[in-house]
Chains A and B, each alone.
Chain A
Amino acid sequence: MSFAQGRAATCAGTAPPGTIPRMPTPSPRGAAAPRIPGAWSVAYWVAAVLVYAGLGTQLPQAVFLGFWQCTPYLLFFHWLRPRLLGAMARGRPA
Chain B
Amino acid sequence: MSWAAHDLEPYLMRAKLGGAVSIPFLLLGSYSPDILTKWAVYGLDFSGGHKLVSDPVQLHRGFPGVGFTHSLLFGVVVGLLILWTSKSRMWALSFILGNWAHVLSDTLDSVGTMVLWPLTDWHLHLDAWEYVGQAGRRTDAIAYYTSLGGVWDVMWAVWLLWNWRTLTTEHFRNEIYPKDHFWHWLGRRASESVMLTVYRASAFFGIASILGWYLWALAVNDLHAALDWSLGGPQWAPRIGPP
Give chain A's interface residues, CB within 8 Å of chain B: 7, 10-11, 20-25, 42, 48-50, 52-54, 56-58, 60-61, 64-67, 70-71, 74-75, 78-79
7 inter-chain pairs at a CB distance below 8 angstroms, sorted by A residue, are: A11-B188, A21-B178, A22-B178, A23-B177, A49-B207, A50-B211, A67-B201
Please determine whether A71 and B208 come into contact, CB atoms closer than 8 angstroms. Answer: no
Complex alpha-carbon distance, A11 and B185, angstroms: 8
Measured CB to CB, the closest approach of chain B to A41, in angstroms, equals 8
B193 partner residues in chain A, CB cutoff 8 A = 75, 78-79
| 18 further interface pairs, Cβ-Cβ under 8 Å (given A22-B174, A23-B172, A48-B204) | A10-B184, A10-B188, A20-B178, A23-B173, A23-B178, A42-B164, A53-B211, A53-B215, A57-B213, A57-B215, A57-B220, A61-B46, A64-B46, A66-B205, A70-B205, A71-B197, A75-B194, A78-B193
Give chain B's interface residues, CB within 8 Å of chain A: 7, 31, 46, 164, 170, 172-174, 177-179, 184, 187-188, 192-194, 196-197, 200-202, 204-205, 207-209, 211-213, 215-216, 220
When A67-B201, A75-B197 are in contact, do A56 and B212 touch as well, CB less than 8 Å?
yes
Most B-side CB within 10 Å, residue of A7, A61, A70, A75: A70
When A49-B207, A75-B193 are in contact, do A57 and B201 touch as well, CB less than 8 Å?
no
**Nearest opposing residue in chain A for B170, CB measure:** A25
Please determine whether B201 and A53 come into contact, CB atoms closer than 8 angstroms. Answer: no
Please determine whether B209 and A53 come into contact, CB atoms closer than 8 angstroms. Answer: yes
Most A-side CB within 10 Å, residue of B164, B184, B212, B215: B212
Measured CB to CB, the closest approach of chain A to B161, in angstroms, equals 10
Complex alpha-carbon distance, A21 and B177, angstroms: 9
Please determine whether B208 and A67 come into contact, CB atoms closer than 8 angstroms. Answer: no
Complex alpha-carbon distance, A13 and B74, angstroms: 34
B174 partner residues in chain A, CB cutoff 8 A = 22-23, 25
B209 partner residues in chain A, CB cutoff 8 A = 53, 56, 65
- Among candidates B173, B184, B188, B197, residue contacting A78 with C-beta atoms closer than 8 Å: B197
Complex alpha-carbon distance, A4 and B76, angstroms: 38
Measured CB to CB, the closest approach of chain B to A30, in angstroms, equals 14
A42 partner residues in chain B, CB cutoff 8 A = 164
